[in-house]
């Protein structure tokens, strides 16, 4: 293909981003839940909460799309800082802001300090920013970048196969990078955002606090 220094998984993500400008563009502005009806009943509480978030998707979070018919988020698998395999279901009981990022993604790097600040401000037993790095080469590069940049509050989660991106793309939630989902304590999607955002802004704090019932 003529891209000798670009991994296959990275090419898939880059091409997905280009495709997203066409077929995926409508998905960014689609207000429904994930495809299919399975799981809608189990997320009835999330639907009520999502309605309260609707008027808060403004300002710095104007691109945040509230999910009108929440369904369970795919049970993604990734690794913790100690290399232990984790599943998204392991975070049940707390609200999660799931973010997929990579060191080669400039918008991703730009928003990481804000995500770090959001974790420092609201992180705890009830909430966590789960930022999953999907660099497919040089696994240590992401950890080194976080240290060099002064990111101290985010846990070093990773999936160096980038399978989490492909699984979210399969359900219409990842067409480019970064990709972010807000998930309730039952694992139901409350909303999603394609692209970067100022997650340390008052707009973001207000929306996350509302998701936490504060």
Q: Note the pLDDT of residue 13.
A: 55
**Cα(93)–Cα(186) distance, integer angstroms:** 6
Domain 8-211 class in CATH: alpha beta
Q: What percent of the chain has pLDDT over 70?
A: 81
Q: Note the pLDDT of residue 20.
A: 43
For tokens 């807000």, what's the residue? 182
pTM of the entire structure?
Answer: 0.83
3-state helix, strand, coil in the chain (%, to 5): 40, 15, 45
Of 14, 64, 29, nearest to 176 (Cα)? 14
**Cα(28)–Cα(98) distance, integer angstroms:** 17
Return the domain boundaries, the chain: 8-211
Q: Note the pLDDT of residue 39.
A: 61
pLDDT higher than threshold 60 for residue 10: no
Q: Note the pLDDT of residue 28.
A: 34
Contact 127, 165 (CB under 8 A): no
Arithmetic mean of pLDDT over the chain:
86
Write out pLDDT tens, residues 115-143: 999 999 999 999 999 999 999 988 889 99
Would you call 199 helix, strand, or coil by DSSP?
coil
Write out pLDDT tens, residues 21-45: 343 433 333 334 444 554 667 899 9
Write out pLDDT tens, residues 71-110: 999 999 999 999 999 999 999 999 999 999 999 999 999 9
Specify burial of residue 124 (Cβ count, 10 A radius: 0-12, 13-18, 19+): exposed
Contact 7, 134 (CB under 8 A): no
């Amino acid at each position: 293909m003529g891209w000798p220094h670009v991994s296959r998984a990275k090419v898939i993500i880059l091409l997905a981003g280009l495709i997203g400008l066409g077929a995926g563009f409508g998905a960014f502005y689609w207000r429904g839940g994930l495809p299919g009806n399975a799981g809608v009943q189990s997320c009835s509480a999330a639907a009520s909460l999502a309605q309260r978030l609707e008027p808060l998707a403004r300002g710095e979070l104007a691109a945040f799309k509230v999910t009108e018919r929440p369904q369970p988020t795919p049970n993604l698998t990734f690794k913790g800082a100690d290399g232990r395999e984790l599943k998204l279901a392991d975070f049940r009981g707390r609200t999660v802001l799931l973010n997929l990022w990579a060191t080669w993604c400039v918008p991703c790097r730009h928003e990481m300090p804000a995500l770090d600040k959001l974790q420092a401000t609201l992180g705890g037993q009830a909430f966590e920013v789960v930022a999953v790095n999907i660099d497919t080469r040089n696994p240590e590069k992401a950890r080194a970048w976080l240290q060099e940049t002064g990111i101290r509050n985010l846990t070093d989660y990773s999936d160096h196969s980038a399978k989490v991106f492909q699984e979210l793309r399969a359900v219409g939630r990842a067409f480019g990078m970064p990709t972010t989902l807000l998930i309730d304590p039952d694992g139901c999607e409350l909303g999603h955002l394609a692209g970067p955002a100022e997650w340390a802004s008052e707009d973001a704090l207000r929306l996350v606090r509302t998701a936490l019932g504060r």
